[in-house]
Amino acid sequence: MIKSGTNALHGEAYWFTQNSAFDARAFFNPSVGHLAYNQIGGNVAGPIKHNKLFYFVNFVNTQDHEANTNLENIPDDPFRTGNLSGDAGHQVYDPLTGPQDGSGTLRTPFPGNIIPTSRIDPISAKLAALLPRRISRSSRPPRLTIILRSCRR
């Protein structure tokens, strides 16, 4: 019960829906995961005692059923310790060399694409240790792309 309101009966009803039939697939995902999201609700307000006492009732029901496709890159053990020599397609440069003007000129590459352990931040190393281990080795670059599927109800 509330002290402010109107002497006329008012209300509304709504139904918001989002589903996988109308969603586009993300660029790197092979398919659209199942999604069925519905938010149904309404409210009504009116007088209890004319010009004195009023009521307001609201109802919301959310139904969320979805399966997400997430692409994650899991680094292997050499990558975690700064050994990037397995990635022959890229050269890793020492960021402390060359002019610090953002031009990227006159930079010195790390020998053998290996970052010295003294240059790896200890907090970053601890965070990398928390990542799950790589599942298997393959002929791909030293990153393994895995697809994680989750379902929330």
Spacing of C-alpha 14 from chain mean position: 29
SS3 103: coil
The model's pTM: 0.44
One domain for residues 60 and 17 = yes
Block means of pLDDT (10 residues each) for the chain, length 153 residues? 78 91 79 84 92 91 78 82 87 86 83 91 89 66 42 42
Looking at the fold, whether 45 and 85 belong to one and the same domain comes out as no
Q: Is residue 153 part of a domain?
A: no
Domain containing residue 104: 77-133
Same domain, 54 and 82: no
So what's the pLDDT on residue 35? 81
C-alpha distance from residue 73 to each of 79, 113, 124, 132, 134 (Å): 12, 20, 16, 10, 9
pLDDT of residue 5: 77
To the nearest 10°, the Cα dihedral for 108, 112, 113, 115? -80
The domain total for the chain is 2
**Residue 122 within any structural domain of the chain:** yes
Residue 87: per-residue pLDDT = 84
Q: Note whether residue 144 is domain-resident.
A: no
User: Is 96 within the bounds of a domain?
Assistant: yes
